[in-house]
Structure formats: C-alpha cells, structure tokens
Amino acid sequence: MKEYRIGGLPVVDEDNVLLGILTNRDIRFEQNMEKRAKELMTSYQNLVVAGSHISLEEAKEILHQNKIEKLPIVDDKRHIKGLITIKDITSVIENPNATRDDKGRLVVGAAVGVSDGLQRTQELVKAGVDFVVLDSAHGHSKNIIETLKMIKERFQDLPVIAGNIATVEAAKMLIESGADALKVGIGPGSICTTRVISGVGVPQLTAIMKVSEEAKKYDIPVIADGGIRYSGDIVKALAAGASTVMMGSIFAGTEEAPGETVIYQGRKFKTYRGMGSIAAMEKGSKDRYFQEETPNEKLVPEGVEAMVAYKGEVKDVIIQLVGGVKAGMGYVGAKDINELQQKARFIKITTSKQ
C-alpha cells in the first residue's frame, strides 16, 4: 500500500464477495507481518456499505454521519462494485471540471504510432485506456489509414483520434476509415519546423475552417493542434469550427511540465523540445515523421529544442486561459461554443491596419 500510496484495500474471496477492508490503520503498528489479512481487517459485519445506485451527495452524508473514510459499494449478493473514499469526494469537489469516466476515474488517452499501433493499442486497452490517438505528422497517408482500419476492426468501441491533417480530402479519408475525431495542424507549433524543412503546410485557421466544415457533415469533432500562443488564439480556433484545442508551448514552462529547470542570466527557464527534434526522435518519435528506419546520425529534424520562461503552476496558467476564452465569447455574445461558431465573423487585416 505504501508503494502505490493506497490507504486501504477491500478484501474479497474468489467469487469477489466482500469480506472486509484492510487499512493503514489496521497494520500501522502491527509487529507480526506474517498475519493473514482476515486477522487484521475490519470484517464485513462491522462495515458500513452502500448500493451501486448511491449518489455522491448520499455517499458524502453516509461518510460524515458514520465518521468513516471509506464506503464500499456492493450489490445484493455482497459482490464488490466499487469503493468511495473521502479523498475521491474531495477531489470531485475541488476539481468539478475534470473529465471522468462512469467509474469516477480521470479519462486517459494515449498516443500510438504506425509501426506498433495495433500491438500498443492492445496493451493500452488492457491497462484501461479510454481512447487512443493515432499520431503522425502526416495523417493523410496509406500507413495511417491501414493502421486506423486495423485498430477500429479489432477494437470497435474504442474511440480513435486520427491526425494530423489539414485538408478536406484527408478528413474524408480518415472519417471513412473509422476515425472518431480529427486532429488538425501541419506545422503550426511554436517549435515545429515542418513547413520550413519540407515546404508543406496549411495556415492553421484555414485548415480548421476547411476540415471542420467537412467533419460536421458526419458529426465528427475537430481538435485544433498547435499555434496557440494566447487565449485569443483559442477563441479563434473554436470560432473557426474546432471543438477543442491542443496546446504545448503554453504549458511548457509550468512546474508540472517535463523538462529540466535551468537558471539563465538570473531567470528561471525550463527546457522544451518538439516531437520532431533530434532528441525526441532518438527517444522514440521517429515513426511520427516516417523515419523509423533512419539511423540517428541521418535523421532530418522537423522541430527544435528551446528554453521557455518558468510560469509557475499549471492551474494558474489555465485560469488565465479560461478567463480569456470567456471574455472572447462575451464580446461575441455567445453562451457556448456552438453559438460562438454561429456568431463569430472573421475579418482580414491588411498591412495598413489601424
């Protein structure tokens, strides 16, 4: 329990019938670690339990009234169905906007590539992943299409996001192949050099508009991936037709972001690298850029490494972004994203703008 930071474990028999609960309190000062769980646990007869249809508020009240921290959820035959804890309820209260599944767990997705797409997806499904992202710098390719079809054929109920793309033709192909959502963006990222290296790309706003127009015919959501530098860029992406956005550089300097913290000229920075950088490719992102067979010394980078200013905790950055999006929607007079897309008007700014 210490290794996984777990405060308690339900004890069940081979038929998944609840026998009791073993908590840290039961073993904290125990000298004989050879004892069986049933000798230390709180037995079922002394437990407070609830049925599977209990609401969060009802569970909270039961925990409070009985001065307990854990509430096992069982069916009429004592089969364990879940465990509600004070920690769970506190997390829900403190993070009401967190995306959770029907079991109250955070929704988790994972990226898969072309070379190991099916095998990796299989292992991820075993681990309980909620969706996968078939991720490539060029989503409108034969390998992506074939991998997408194989994944959807094997795991029909698993949502698959596919990309990256920037054209209507690519959107049609991925949708016909089974994509549940589309990721749009060829080279708009702040440390992505695809457009410079390959000469290929579509302006991000144009790509969002074109792809989302096609995707809406099939009720397929669009994710705007890259090019978000300010909260206003989020508003523009949503107004252009995106259902949501993906961001990297904005969060790169936060405390929670991966990367080494360094001090440079008296200021605090964090290292940040693009998926197409040499360092990232050497660590495993080669197949995203179709260079999985290329030796490291011959890799052609489509991204760079950089340092970004330290920004503190990610929650503070998100608060500012959400505030900016709300302000933008307020200026347009939109109460939700659908209304924003209906009411927003785009105006071309010339070089002689005022």
Check 120, 192, 195, 345 and give the catalytic one.
192
Tell me the C-alpha distance between 322 and 50, whole Å. Answer: 38
Residue 163, sorted as left (phi over 0), alpha (psi -120 to 50) or beta, turns out to be left
Check 229, 273, 288, 345 and give the catalytic one.
288
Whether 229 is catalytic: no
Whether 192 is catalytic: yes
Tell me the C-alpha distance between 354 and 352, whole Å. Answer: 7
Three-state SS across the chain? Answer: CCCCCCCEEEEECCCCEEEEEEEHHHHCCCCCCCCCHHHHCEEHHHCCCECCCCCHHHHHHHHHHHCCCEEEEECCCCEEEEEEEHHHHHHHHHCCCCCECCCCCECCEEEECCCCHHHHHHHHHHHCCCEEEEECCCCCCHHHHHHHHHHHHHCCCCCEEEEEECCHHHHHHHHHCCCCEEEECCCCCCCECHHHHHCCCCCHHHHHHHHHHHHHHHCCCEEEECCCCCHHHHHHHHHCCCCEEECCHHHHCECCCCCCEEEECCEEEEEEECCCCHHHHHHHHHHHHCCCCCCHHHCCCCECEEEEECCECHHHHHHHHHHHHHHHHHHHCCCCHHHHHHHCCCCCCCCCCC
Largest CA distance in the chain: 82
Q: Which residues are catalytic?
A: 192, 288
